[in-house]
A = this chain, B = another copy of it.
Amino acid sequence: MAKKTSLSGFPEWSPAGRIIEQSILDQLRRTFELHGFASLETRAVEPLSELMRKGETSKEVYVISRLQQQSQEARDADLGLHFDLTVPFARYVLENAGQLAFPFRRYQIQKVWRGERPQDGRFREFTQADIDIVGMENLALHHEIDLPLIMIEALNALPIPPVTVMVNNRKIVQGFCRGIGIEHVEDALRAIDKLDKIGQQAVVEEMREHGISADHAHSLLELAQIRGTENISESVRKLGVEDPQLAEGLEELEHLLEETDRRAPGQVVADLKITRGLDYYTGMVYETFLEGHEDLGSICSGGRYDSLASDGRRSYPGVGLSIGVTRLVSRILSNGLVQASRSVPTCVLVAVNSEQTRPTSNAIADQLRSRGIPTEVSPSSAKFGKQIRYADRRGIPFVWFIDDQGQSTVKDIRSGEQITAEADQWQPAEDDLMPTVEWQG
């Protein structure tokens, strides 16, 4: 169903694949709106200066320019396609702060672009579904607990295997580094972030290259290996490092684990090696894994940030999580984890006896549609066998016939059952009205 196109990294789905993606997006939107998140879309482009300021390496950015650019318009060259939805959202908040009510909750489902080398689960164009809550000057801790729980609810509602959110608090690593005397905290964070990818030894080497002593590196590795749903503070305390920020981070994490244990038992696990590559996180950070598909990497990541958006006078701290929709859908489609019941919205095909009676078929179709039943009229008045084949190829479950006396019958072409029917009364089974998607796992 997931057809490879000629452009690597720019995936496109079949009509049936798109039905699956759309049902996932609809369900996400539903959960986000139930939790009071307002929809936003931002433009696809941002000034390059903005895009290169925030954490990501600059080589991933696509620059846009007009084909026949005039020199006085050269400033266009300073635009790039956004690589995530957080940076544009932060800019939107700053530009519109006067009109927004804080804390402001928004969801945003849009394409983003990164000029990376395409791999399995890694694309150059992909859809993200983000939720963020942003305050003015401050944002209470409970938002850092609520947000991953909302994402768990959203993901639990999808036809996918169970998810686990791995969580850490930046204050723990930062406080720990300070406690043992490591200066280059960012370097340490970036090294730990690669633990799963490159292994312990390479991480230690990378830290040492950045001037971190072997002892310190090994202490950090011990910290990074702590993982679980309880006794996190105890395990950290055994490492014998004291620091007020470390203590604060541990307290916040313990509080989160208590709450999430009650509200989503077993779905949130502390994992102190989760650091996220981006510089701007200051509190909780999250990564989310799909059971049996851990090789895919995180399908939903984010964290707390304090200074992503500031107009110099006020700061707008926030917490956000982003689902990699394309990564998820790509895996679902390529592994056939979910099937759509048909490849078109159409529930009924109204047969056409001859081109002269097409208006009669059109009228029946109008009646069915006015009652919310997706209906097509047969494109040709060929033999009924051919018209039925038209429906069959698309998975359209019903074909509607009108005889010369104007009496209608409707045939379920799966069972062959055919009954007389009135267009102002007949109703398909609920499951047949629109295409449905079903977990095959």
| Residues in chain A within 8 A of chain B (CB atoms) | 3, 5-7, 10-15, 18-19, 22, 33-45, 48, 58-68, 76, 79-81, 92, 95-96, 99-101, 103, 105-106, 111, 113, 115, 125, 133, 135, 140, 142-143, 146, 259, 262-263, 343-346, 355, 358-359, 362, 369, 372-377, 379-380, 390, 393-394, 434
Across the interface, do B125 and A12 meet the contact criterion of CB distance under 8 Å?
no
Across the interface, do B344 and A105 meet the contact criterion of CB distance under 8 Å?
yes
Chain B residues in 8 Å Cβ range of A14: 96, 99
Taking the nearest CB of chain B, how far is it from the CB of A132, in angstroms? 13
Across the interface, do A394 and B67 meet the contact criterion of CB distance under 8 Å?
no
Taking the nearest CB of chain B, how far is it from the CB of A355, in angstroms? 8
Across the interface, do A7 and B67 meet the contact criterion of CB distance under 8 Å?
no
- Closest 8 A-B residue pairs measured CB to CB? A36-B346, A36-B376, A33-B345, A66-B115, A10-B43, A59-B68, A15-B38, A101-B393
Across the interface, do B68 and A41 meet the contact criterion of CB distance under 8 Å?
no
The docked-state distance in angstroms from the alpha carbon of A73 to that of B204 is 34
CB < 8 Å neighbour of A125 from B33, B45, B76, B355 = B45
The docked-state distance in angstroms from the alpha carbon of A68 to that of B12 is 26
In the complex, which residue of chain B has the Cβ closest to the Cβ of A62?
A: B64
Across the interface, do A143 and B379 meet the contact criterion of CB distance under 8 Å?
yes
In the complex, which residue of chain B has the Cβ closest to the Cβ of A64?
A: B62
A-B contact pairs, 25 of them (CB 8 A): A3-B96, A6-B95, A10-B45, A11-B43, A12-B42, A13-B40, A15-B106, A34-B369, A34-B375, A35-B375, A35-B376, A36-B374, A37-B345, A44-B44, A48-B67, A61-B66, A62-B64, A64-B64, A64-B113, A65-B65, A76-B115, A101-B394, A103-B379, A143-B379, A146-B377
The docked-state distance in angstroms from the alpha carbon of A312 to that of B358 is 33
Taking the nearest CB of chain B, how far is it from the CB of A367, in angstroms? 12
Across the interface, do A62 and B58 meet the contact criterion of CB distance under 8 Å?
no
Across the interface, do B7 and A43 meet the contact criterion of CB distance under 8 Å?
yes
Across the interface, do A35 and B369 meet the contact criterion of CB distance under 8 Å?
yes
Across the interface, do B140 and A35 meet the contact criterion of CB distance under 8 Å?
no
Taking the nearest CB of chain B, how far is it from the CB of A27, in angstroms? 13
Chain B residues in 8 Å Cβ range of A125: 43-45
Chain B residues in 8 Å Cβ range of A345: 33-34, 36-38
Chain B residues in 8 Å Cβ range of A22: 39
For the A-B complex with A3-B96, A35-B375, A133-B379 known, give 9 more contacts whose Cβ atoms are closer than 8 Å.
Answer: A10-B45, A12-B41, A18-B41, A38-B343, A44-B44, A59-B68, A63-B64, A64-B113, A140-B379
Chain B residues in 8 Å Cβ range of A38: 15, 18-19, 343-345
Main secondary structure of the interface of A (DSSP, over half): mixed
Chain B residues in 8 Å Cβ range of A434: 33
The docked-state distance in angstroms from the alpha carbon of A92 to that of B11 is 12
Across the interface, do B12 and A92 meet the contact criterion of CB distance under 8 Å?
yes
With A36-B346, A65-B62, A103-B379 as given contacts, are A12 and B43 in contact (CB-CB < 8 Å)?
yes
Chain B residues in 8 Å Cβ range of A105: 344, 376
The docked-state distance in angstroms from the alpha carbon of A106 to that of B394 is 13
The docked-state distance in angstroms from the alpha carbon of A202 to that of B318 is 58
The docked-state distance in angstroms from the alpha carbon of A81 to that of B6 is 16
In the complex, which residue of chain B has the Cβ closest to the Cβ of A47?
A: B7
CB < 8 Å neighbour of A34 from B12, B37, B259, B372 = B372
Chain B residues in 8 Å Cβ range of A95: 3, 5-6
Taking the nearest CB of chain B, how far is it from the CB of A259, in angstroms? 8
The docked-state distance in angstroms from the alpha carbon of A12 to that of B64 is 19
Taking the nearest CB of chain B, how far is it from the CB of A46, in angstroms? 9
The docked-state distance in angstroms from the alpha carbon of A358 to that of B358 is 62
Across the interface, do B45 and A7 meet the contact criterion of CB distance under 8 Å?
yes
CB < 8 Å neighbour of A140 from B81, B380, B390 = B380
CB < 8 Å neighbour of A39 from B3, B11, B19 = B19
Chain B residues in 8 Å Cβ range of A79: 7
Across the interface, do B358 and A142 meet the contact criterion of CB distance under 8 Å?
yes
The docked-state distance in angstroms from the alpha carbon of A66 to that of B65 is 11
Taking the nearest CB of chain B, how far is it from the CB of A382, in angstroms? 11
Across the interface, do B33 and A374 meet the contact criterion of CB distance under 8 Å?
yes
With A65-B65, A67-B59 as given contacts, are A13 and B41 in contact (CB-CB < 8 Å)?
yes
